[in-house]
Amino acid sequence: MLSKFKLSCICILAFLGLSIIGCGGGGGGSDGPETRGNLTTLSSNASMNAQPHYQRLELLPTSYIQFNDAQDNQHQQVKGSIQLIYSRYTGEVPDRFKDYEIYKYETSFNITFLSNNAVMNTSSFILSTELADGVYDLGNQDPDNPTNIIWENSPVLSNFKTYEIGGTCDINSPSETGSYTVLTKEYVTIGNTRYPAWKIAEIASGDGYEYEDYYWINPEYGTLKMQGQMTFTDPEDNFTIYFDTVLKESY
């Protein structure tokens, strides 16, 4: 589920020539947070069906885009939300994947730039399946043609099936290389509630971009928090995205 956010950044690039991702929330209570679960009993189930089918996140005020072009060097703060929707895929499938149970991960953005109130709405999706040793990507939405699906030649390992500290999943797709690594377990506080979570690092690079993201995931509630930075180095798209996020809604 992790690289879905990166793909959406690239799809937004194709949509407007720039991109942003992030979420936010928070608050606090005077009586201290309620704790739901603990680190000892935190589920290690990372399979697709363990995750919620819907999540909504919002941008924290610390999220921004920094345009790095010397002629347009500006820092843009943003606000907005992201929706993550997970469902069965029932469309047409290449013969090589017809025997797989395929799921669709859709990421939808509603972003506002605070400097001029410009609004950006866009979405992207990835198609995945779960096999014995992990989650595999089978295809994704074409950033240049939203009605087209780019299918992989064969399943590409993309995510864990079970979390364990020190566990690593390599990213070796035609477009990028890197890895996911389970770093530790720790608590995340959202509003008046504290949740145990797995902290995962995703570090990778591709043609003209690189990123370093951190995720806090609870299999029951989904992605509780995300922080990360992605830099595009193409001369025509030279900018940095920073996002800082927490979960707002999940079911």
Q: What is the pLDDT of residues 74-109, one digit of tens each?
A: 888 999 888 899 999 999 999 999 999 999 999 888
Distance CA 243, CA 228 (A): 5
Identify the DSSP state of 50.
G
Q: 192 is in which domain, residue-wise?
A: 3-250
For the record, the structure tokens of 118 come out as 């410009």
Predicted TM-score (pTM) of the model is 0.82
Q: What is the pLDDT of residues 61-71, one digit of tens each?
A: 999 988 877 56
Largest Cα span, the chain: 58
- Count of domains in the chain? 1
Taking the CA atoms of residue 233, residue 73, residue 76 and residue 176 in that order, the dihedral angle to the nearest 10 degrees is 0
Distance CA 225, CA 216 (A): 5
